[in-house]
Structure 1
Amino acid sequence: MLASKSLGIDFPRSEKQTLVRFLALYILLTVIIILVFSFIYFELQKDLMLQEKKSTLQKYSKELIEDLKQLHVYFDKTQIYPRSDKFDSAIFDNEKKLIFSTNDTKLRLDKILYLESGVIHLVNIPESYYLGARYIIVKVKDDEVWLEQTKKEIITFGAITFLFMLVIGYILLRLFLKPMRDAITLLDEFIKDTTHELNTPVSTIVANIEMIDKSSLDEKLLKKINRIDIGAKTVSNIYQDLTYLTLGNEIASNNEDIDIEQLVLERVEYFTSLALAKKIKICTNIRERTFLHVDKFKISKLLDNLLSNAIKYNKVGGEIIVTVESRVFSVEDSGIGIAEEDISEIQGRYKRFNKSSGGFGIGLSIVSAIAKEYNLKIDITSKERVGTKVSVSW
């Protein structure tokens, strides 16, 4: 199957992309939650530190106010504003104009206790206006011991929480995916059982039709036989596609040198009746004989899907040209074509860009899988309402 493994479950590429997006969103939300709680914890730790420093700053503030009071009472022009080696200070008047400061840093009066630029500030308002002082600020440098400790705690608990949330996400994802896994398993079993039951009757019908001498039949009966032949071959082709999808990994490859010219002629003859039903002409253009070392069943399946799509998406009365050159063969049709923006996605399973045509949309996904197994290069060129050309090279 064209599937990718995720959490021990096989999923097609589109489902895997959905799971990756879900995990990315879950991880993003987890990181956001951790960051929000880390910020809240950091602010709480900062407030706790400020409250612990507050008593010391209040003590310094009282000392400064007492010194101001003494200077106010025993004022002498030779005296200067009080200062201390233990803290920096600043004095503002009633109009919030700076009277005195022991450094040039910008100060704020809108908060009582705050941390800014690594310095803790306490704003105090004296009971009396000593020497015109209305606001007194005392400042001490933060030793940042609490900051380093808080960082360590945030990193440690953040990492533990992230891993815990990943485990929870993994468990939830497996629980949510169980119905999908069961459905895929049930579908695979159903397809395997169905294809197994189809094998004998389809093979019998095709074999018996091929043994009929059509030259001895009247025209009316010949048309009926041809319709049966077309229907049987269509069902046979679908059966082989489903067989490859369900058992592709289990089918042992019997690689040998395949004559591509001979294979093309065989498969074109097989699909002639299907093409004639839509009045489509299949032309072969063998420019050079070439060989490819592959499993005959798989390379036949690849070519069959290219021819089947060329018929299915062609117009009535259209044309198909199958070209064989050195180390390359191509199938070109005159059909509806593919939009340029859809070409990159057309090889995905269940991709059909024309809902009016039948099919399951698995043809080119099988082509892609076989090409990948044998390192074949698939090149698709197409123009809407003109046609499509698919080249396989090695």
Structure 2
Amino acid sequence: MYRGEKKSIIYVLGLYLSSTLLLITTLFISYYYYEQEQFAHSEKDLLKKYTLLLTQQLSELNEKSSERYRYPRFNEFESAIYDIDKNLIFSTSKDIDITKFKDDFFTKESNSYFISSLTPYYFGAAYIIIEKKSKHLDILDNLIFIAIVTIIITLVTSVFLVNLVLRPMRENIKLLDSFIKDTTHELNTPITAILTNIETIDSSNCDEKTLRKLKRIKIASQSISNIYEDLVYILLNHRTSTQNIDLNLKEMLHQRVEYFTEMAHTKKIDFTLDIEKDVYFKADKKKIQRLIDNLISNAIKYSYKATTIKIILKYSSLIIEDEGKGMSKQEVKNIFTRYLRFDKSQGGFGIGYSIIKSIADEYKIKIDIVSKQNQGTKVALSW
């Protein structure tokens, strides 16, 4: 999975799923309340019919002259009758309680209830209550089941659609990645040849104009070489073996400062070194060189002309401080974002600090950056 692809997938999936689930939830809730309302109307109408049926049975019993009466019973529903003071006269169900009634119709758990006034007062009854087993909860159960199935289908569909949408981007990234790798590989030979030939040129017989041209060629070649090394690190870092050895940081810093001296002199920039002896750090030489090179090249790139770059090496810290443009707090906050460039007028791809952060994290090196606009930037590494 390419860099940024995971973030894109999460973003698209999140947006698609959240909007879809919001729509589904709204529809399901609306449907549920609509069905509940329809159910309540139909249940109430049915219980009214049962009330009329029971009232008719009570009327017929009341007209009979007998000492004993058998209260009417029905398979479809239970019932109860209460007097004017809401005292129970008779009930076919122990669950019926007139004190629970606030409305003439309500549902509780799996039962529906309906209360109605009874006139005339058959057997002294003033209220009649009907209780019926209800299946209204099946609506909610069915909706939950449908919702789960819908969510699963939506998730599968969204993953398929995201992959379908990202396929062209993946192919283009793969093609671009292959092109960059091939180009980077092809650059190695000419860059090495240019630098080698420049070093072997006998400059003692060259006039001043030719020497300036050779210096410019060397500086340009070094810049290309730095870009090449950065690209190699980004593209092949995870495929190359790491050889951690005890590095003499004093020697390495002197070598890298000498390497960048001519580049710095084009802007009349000087180096001041405060380096302790015998400072060793166990790491891969190429990676630490990339870290130091990026710090120094950035300091040169963003320094004003005729200024000084300070390099301080202590037992457990390295500080590189320039007198340049500096950065805002927001820029410092986002400095390690790859391909992000704050100053478009300067060259580069915006990968230097990303490489610095990657190597520092690998070797548990802490990075502190203090920068003030138009005053300069100080980068402090500690371990």
Give me the TM-score of the superposition, normalised by structure 2.
0.80
Q: Paired residue for 2:3?
A: 11
Q: CA 1:299 to 1:87, structure 2 compared with 1: closer, same or farther past 3 Å?
A: farther
Match of 1:357 among 346, 356, 376: 346
Give me the TM-score of the superposition, normalised by structure 1.
0.78
Q: CA 1:87 to 1:269, structure 2 compared with 1: closer, same or farther past 3 Å?
A: farther
Say whether residues 1:36 and 2:26 are aligned partners.
yes
CA deviation after TM superposition for structure 1 residue 18, in Å: 3.6
Alpha-carbon separation, structure 2, partners of 1:88 and 1:36: 42
Moved more, 231-240 or 316-325: 316-325
Q: Name the aligned partner's letter for residue 326 of structure 1.
A: Y
Match of 1:86 among 63, 67, 79: 79
Q: What per-residue deviation string (whole Å, max 9, x for no partner) do you get for residues 193-229 of structure 1?
A: 1111111111111112122344443221111111111
Alpha-carbon separation, structure 2, partners of 1:324 and 1:261: 8
CA deviation after TM superposition for structure 1 residue 145, in Å: 4.4
Q: CA 1:211 to 1:54, structure 2 compared with 1: closer, same or farther past 3 Å?
A: same
SS at match of 1:361: coil
Say whether residues 1:49 and 2:42 are aligned partners.
no
| Within-5 A mapping of 1:1-394 | 9-12=1-4, 15-60=5-50, 62=52, 86=79, 107=103, 145-147=135-137, 149-394=138-383
Alpha-carbon separation, structure 2, partners of 1:213 and 1:142: 109
Q: Name the aligned partner's letter for residue 53 of structure 1.
A: E
What runs of 5+ residues in structure 2 fail to find an aligned partner? 61-77, 85-97, 121-126
Q: Name the aligned partner's letter for residue 28 of structure 1.
A: S
4+ residue stretches of structure 1 with deviation over 4 A? 63-67, 102-108, 114-124, 137-145
Q: Name the aligned partner's letter for residue 368 of structure 1.
A: K
CA deviation after TM superposition for structure 1 residue 158, in Å: 1.6
CA deviation after TM superposition for structure 1 residue 175, in Å: 0.7
Alpha-carbon separation, structure 1, partners of 2:298 and 2:193: 25
Alpha-carbon separation, structure 2, partners of 1:381 and 1:268: 22
Tell me if the contact between 2:367 and 2:379 (Cα under 8 Å) persists in the aligned partners: yes
Instruction: Give the root-mean-square deviation of aligned CA atoms.
Output: 3.4
What runs of 5+ residues in structure 1 fail to find an aligned partner? 1-8, 71-84, 92-101, 109-113, 131-136
SS at match of 2:282: strand
Aligned residue pair count: 350
Q: What per-residue deviation string (whole Å, max 9, x for no partner) do you get for residues 236-263 of structure 1?
A: 1111111111111111112211111111
CA deviation after TM superposition for structure 1 residue 121, in Å: 7.7
SS at match of 1:353: coil
Q: Name the aligned partner's letter for residue 159 of structure 1.
A: I
SS at match of 2:238: coil
Tell me if the contact between 2:219 and 2:262 (Cα under 8 Å) persists in the aligned partners: yes
SS at match of 1:390: strand
